[in-house]
Amino acid sequence: MRLEILDAPVEAEGWVGAVLCRDILDGDGHALVAKGRRLSEADAAAVAASADELHLLWLDPGDVDEDSAAVRLADAIAGSGVNVQRPVESQVRLTASRRGLARLDTAALVTLNSLEGITVFTVPDGMPAERGATLAGVKITPLAIPEAVIAEAERLAAMGKLGGHPLSVQSFVPLRLAAVVRQRISDDARRRFEDSLRARAAWFGGSVASVEYPSGRVAAVDAVRRAAEVADLVLVVGVASVDPLESTWTDLIAAGASVIRRGLPVHPGSSYWLVKLGAVPVIGVASCGMLSRRSALDLLLLRCFAGDALDRAFLAGLGEGGLLGPDQAWRIPNYGGRRGEQ
């Protein structure tokens, strides 16, 4: 690459083919030609109208201009469920082609951004994304970059853990939910709870198979068994989950359910419990989780509908960002109202 400053006016042969390093302005300070453009004879009138000197960059063989470099870098980063947009002001945006869970290879992102001149900025890993949502911006900071740097970025991106592309959108699985409510609530509270549950399931493309309000200890366990026969995920709502002798918990264990975890490093939701009845996960949800604006339940639903297991390692990792205050609302899907609210 070669830099050059030319005083105006200058003949076309002195600048055609060069990359403009700063805007060409008119007398009112408005841009006639934006920086980054590779000048051609079509820009002659603008060049002639400017009284400022020209700041030019001449590309050598093997140099890549910023738009071309950004597109190549974006193509290397974008995986399944991600669309690559056209460059705008030398930046390429990556958007979601479907509703799903944004998955980011954070180690690969750090490696890419460690290369001189490479700039990639994204949404956080695990963010629920609507179709069309912006997931990342990709650009190079100089006006041009050596081919070797872009080739190295492409090579490193292909070595990532997410199928050779550091950014993807994981599709949701249309699961069937069932709920067994273990406390007496009013008809209005039932309606609001069932509307909230259906809104959650529908956002993921799933459905609610059943909702039961059993009375009595034996009836409750029987209801959970029935729910596990028709659903992929069962919620037992309104349990006294801090009580080690709570009947639903003890009866499910006695019935052969296997324990996943009791208590979660999340607030609200720290007193939830999880077991498996056969192959079906069962989540014990405290009363406060029935109509909560955001709770551990939302994080667990995201995990399940993404097709991933509720394993111990995932649950232990919920502690980072486990204070689900308003600042964590980005982690909760917009189920039809404001983000993270029912």
**CA-CA distance, 74 to 194, in Å (whole number)?**
42
**Average pLDDT of the chain?**
88
Digit-coded pLDDT (tens) for 178-227: 999 988 888 998 999 999 999 999 999 999 999 999 988 889 899 999 99
Quote the Cα angle for 256-262-265, to 5°. Answer: 155
- Does residue 22 or residue 171 have the better pLDDT? 171
| 338 pLDDT higher than 50 | no
High-pLDDT (> 70) share of the chain, % = 93
Q: Is the pLDDT of residue 275 over 80?
A: yes
Domain ranges of the chain: 2-58, 63-169, 176-331
User: What count of other Cβ atoms lies within 10 Å of the Cβ of residue 141?
Assistant: 11
What's the CA gap between 39 and 222, in Å, rounded? 76
- For the record, the structure tokens of 189 come out as 């509270």
Fold classification of 2-58 is Molybdopterin biosynthesis moea protein, domain 2 (3.90.105)
For residue 321, the SS3 value is coil
Residue 206 in contact with residue 233, Cβ under 8 Å? Answer: no
Q: Is the peptide bond before 268 cis (omega within 30 degrees of 0)?
A: yes
Asked if residues 237 and 181 have their Cβ atoms less than 8 Å apart, the reply is yes
Confidence band for 284, pLDDT divided at 50, 70 and 90: very high
Return the pLDDT at 340. Answer: 42
| pLDDT tens profile 117-137 | 999 999 999 999 999 999 999
In this prediction, residue 49 carries a pLDDT of 74
Q: What is the mean pLDDT of residues 331-342?
A: 66
Fold of 176-331: Molybdenum Cofactor Biosythetic Enzyme; Chain A (3.40.980)
In 3-state terms, what secondary structure has residue 98?
coil
Residue 272 has pLDDT above 80, yes or no: yes
Q: Do domains 2-58 and 176-331 have the same CATH topology?
A: no
- In the prediction, which pLDDT does 208 show? 97
pLDDT (tens digit, 9 = 90+) per residue, 23-82? 888 777 778 888 777 888 787 787 777 767 888 878 788 889 999 999 999 999 999 999
Helix axes 147-158, 66-77, angle to 10 degrees: 10
CA 221, 224, 228, 233 dihedral sign is negative
Helix axes 106-113, 147-158, angle to 10 degrees: 170
pLDDT of 84 over the 60 cut = yes
| Of 311 and 17, the one with more pLDDT | 311
Domain 63-169 indexed as CATH 3.90.1170: yes
Residue type, 222: D
